[in-house]
Structure 1
Amino acid sequence: MTSTSTPEGLTRFNGLEESAARAALLDACAATAWVDRLLAARPYATVEDLYAAGDAAMGELTAADLAEAMAGHPPIGRPKPGDPTSAREQRGMAGASEELRAEMLELNLAYQDRFGHVFLICATGRTGEQMRDALRERLGNPPEREREIVRAELGKINRIRLARIAGPVEEDRTQEV
């Protein structure tokens, strides 16, 4: 494969029926406005074009759209049962002590009380302690600042998930996120 050819996974995504492509994108981000924007721009010539469309759509999300996107994410430390994406992304909490789990639950509840939504962080590659420390730090943010951090974190998560959608077919089941 040359560098100018379209990756196999992106070709597969471009060729999906709209309902299947919608389902794949909703797995990446629960905001229907984001999904609609990405669907409308298909087909993508390169993975970078897909990322750029995802980033642009993220920048255009309203507060209601962000709330819809956040509703698709479980609290840190409590991945959705039976959801391999959620479990993989929150792997840093997998071996956490009961003490750390209890602290994360308490901090998550305080965060939800303060901001009205789940604490959202790109958990990929972070330890439970790093996520706890970030949550502690962000609890002190003003709501406006926190909304922008959430938008940035959601953008990181979406890029990782788009990479899985558009990545090489042989990596779909094994690629670590």
Structure 2
Amino acid sequence: MALERFEEQDFLACCGSTKFAKEMVLASPFTSLEEAIAAARNIWFNKVDVNGWLEAFSSHPQIGQSASSAHTSHTAAQWSKGEQSTALATSTGSSLQELSDWNAQYRQKFGFIFIICASGRSTAEILAELKKRYQNRPIVEFEIAAQEQMKVTELRLGKLFSTKTKPASTGKQHPTVLATKVEEDRVAVIGGHLKAAPNPSSDKASQVPTRTRPPITTHVLDVSRGCPATGVEVRLEMWKGSQPRPLFDKTDIGGWIFQGSSITDVDGRSGQLMSIVNDVNPGIYRISFNTGKYCPSGFFPFVSIVFEIKESQNREHFHVPLLLSPFSFSTYRGS
């Protein structure tokens, strides 16, 4: 097995605790991402003290704001920007102001900024979670923030390890710099600020890191209660009917082929609905939610969201969440 070697600055980009980064260097090299994550969990929860936790918290920008280069590396700043891309894409001026106001209240009460794994979460969802957690006792909230920090760390370790799968560059750039450029390009597309069209002759495969999660994911937010919807049954299917695509006025029995199912966890997130593959098969997919079982008094016995993945999108990630209330629902494409 190949041994993955990284420097202290690489681990600092994953978690802003100096103690964590030094301990990860001592524990390395790692034979796999899973081994690195196991070591990270042990170090974070058993070897890093309270000061180390607070140091890591302070390295994050406040949700809705950019990272300060004085307190975090360029790589970490770009990763943070990518992690908040869905929140920024779904925000409005008023929602950002409300988020800023609640962030200030949170910091005044607990003494540190609100920490949440923001990847794939909308501004409304983050704000709802902030308001919910604001009610916690400080000792309880400190533990929750540490758990959220570990989620962020695991996500970034996956990005760090993905740099090892990239073909060698003709330049002298550090591999984490290459990964940062890929993340920055992806965020630019989401934000609609891409300044130049990509070069058609470029090798797209070399621009995309190996996945660390399935290409299709979802979560459910109960907007009537302002919290994640736990215990919702979720089912993923792909269209394989006699027609190239499902038609509005015709039914093809057996046209939808089961891909996977799961139940949302305490964060409203589904488990793995399909295998982790670099190239997702293009086609039409359907995610169905057993909303009638979750909310028997609601208007919808179930909700299905149908969407299409084109050939040119087979290496992109598709996060298709459900924002649910008893008498309405909405969705959007997250990252």
Matches within 5 A, 1:26-175: 26-60=12-46, 61-80=48-67, 83-95=77-89, 96-167=91-162, 168-169=165-166, 172=179, 173=182, 174-175=208-209
Match of 1:24 in 2: 10
Residue 98 (structure 1) shift: 0.3
Please tell me the residue identity of whatever aligns with 2:31.
Answer: A
- Aligned partner of residue 117 in structure 1, secondary structure: coil
Q: Does the aligned pair in 1 maintain the 2:16–2:55 contact within 8 Å?
A: yes
**1:2-59 Cα shifts (integer Å, max 9, x gaps):** xxx44xxxx5x41x5xxxx111111111101111111001111221110101111111
Aligned pair count reads 163
Higher RCO (C-alpha under 8 Å, 6+ residues apart): 1
Identity %: 24
Q: Which amino acid aligns with 1:88?
A: G
Counterparts of 1:89 and 1:134, CA distance in 2: 16
Runs of 4 or more, structure 1, over 2 Å off, are 168-177
Letter in 2 for 1:135: L
Secondary structure (helix, strand or coil) at the match of 1:58 reads helix
1:93 and 1:163 map into 2 onto residues whose CA distance is 21
Counterparts of 1:94 and 1:150, CA distance in 2? 21
User: Aligned letter for 1:86?
Assistant: S
The answer on whether the counterparts of 2:9 and 2:21 sit within 8 Å (CA) in structure 1 is no
Tell me which structure has the larger Cα radius of gyration: 2
Structure 2, unaligned stretches of length 5 or more? Answer: 69-73, 168-177, 183-207, 210-316, 318-334
State the superposition RMSD in angstroms.
1.9
**TM-score when scaled to structure 2?**
0.46
> What are the superposed Cα offsets for residues 52-78 of structure 1, whole Å, 9 maximum, x if unpaired?
011111112211111000010010011
